[in-house]
A and B are shown apart, each in its own frame.
Chain A
């Protein structure tokens, strides 16, 4: 597991049913692209988060396939819309097999 991987998510605590709201996610990760070389000229192996997924009560909101050209500390902003209260879960998959998750409760009211 890469060091100090910390997911951060910002969603509204309560939303209106059927109305789109903004979701922001950030995860600290070095996203080693596999293109850089160390000072001896050896290629530094790729180590990135390759997949991101956001789900709400088991239904998918958005997924992303990441490549080496995504910046350090991958940040996403997107819109979601829900009809009932529930839990939004966020999943990041690392190249090394680690999975980082975060969840937020959202109330419709």
Chain B
């Protein structure tokens, strides 16, 4: 394979542009996918079966109220795909849990998808996703 002079210059310019790109400050899709895969541990992931309630618009990303419910789940993991680190919180339900649901408040760096993964006792995983629009991000300057 031979390169013309013009092609060689174009490749060189492209490589320079890639190497100059700033370090990604926020978790990308890869980090989120890795967290999902780690949690699922090989179990099948199906959409649905998890009810994730978030506000449509959060004015302040520092306290975004969420609630999650997944009947029959052993544990629920909340991931924020657009945060510097995607993991937010994991709830593990014991024998005296009245229902497999919980509410808390989380920080979101910006507008993004919040993902709830519920692990069933048989190892399968249910997924629920919800998009939150954030006016002011919650991760400081």
Contact residues of A: prevailing secondary structure? strand
Given contacts A21-B98, A79-B99, are A69 and B92 in contact (CB under 8 A)?
no
- A20 and B88 CA atoms in complex are apart in Å by 26
User: In the complex where A20-B99, A35-B84, A75-B104 touch, is A64 in contact with B140 (Cβ < 8 A)?
Assistant: no
For chain B, the bracket of interface size reads: 20 to 34
Extra inter-chain contacts (13) besides given A65-B92, A80-B96, CB under 8 Å: A35-B140, A63-B94, A64-B102, A65-B89, A69-B108, A70-B104, A71-B107, A72-B62, A75-B103, A78-B99, A78-B103, A79-B101, A80-B97
Could you tell me if B98 and A63 are in contact, using CB atoms closer than 8 angstroms? no
Which residues of B does A touch, CB under 8 Å?
Answer: 62-64, 67, 80, 83-85, 87-99, 101-108, 138-141
Which 5 pairs from chain A and chain B are nearest by CB? Answer: A60-B94, A20-B98, A79-B98, A36-B140, A71-B105
Number of chain A interface residues as a range: 20 to 34
CA distance A36 to B62 in the complex (A): 12
Kindly state the separation between the CA atoms of A22 and B67 in the bound complex, as whole angstroms.
14
Q: Smallest distance from the beta carbon of B9 to chain A beta carbons, Å?
A: 38
Q: Which residues of A are in contact with B by a Cβ distance under 8 Å?
A: 20-22, 33, 35-37, 54-56, 59-72, 74-82
User: Cα distance A6–B69 when bound, in Å?
Assistant: 28
Q: By the criterion CB–CB under 8 Å, are A37 and B141 in contact?
A: yes
Bound-complex Cα distance A68 to B140 (A): 12
Chain A residue numbers with a CB within 8 Å of B64 are 71
**Distance in Å: Cβ of B51 to nearest Cβ of chain A:** 14
A residues in contact with B141, CB < 8 Å: 36-37
Min CB–CB distance B27 → chain A (angstroms): 10
Closest chain A residue to B80, Cβ basis: A69
Given the interface pairs A35-B139, A65-B89, A67-B88, the reply to whether A60 lies near B103 with Cβ below 8 Å is no
Roughly how many angstroms separate A79 CA and B94 CA in the complex, as a whole number? 11
- B16 CB, nearest partner CB in chain A, Å: 28
CA distance A23 to B96 in the complex (A): 12
Name A36's closest neighbour in chain B (CB-CB): B140
Residue of B nearest to A20 (CB): B98
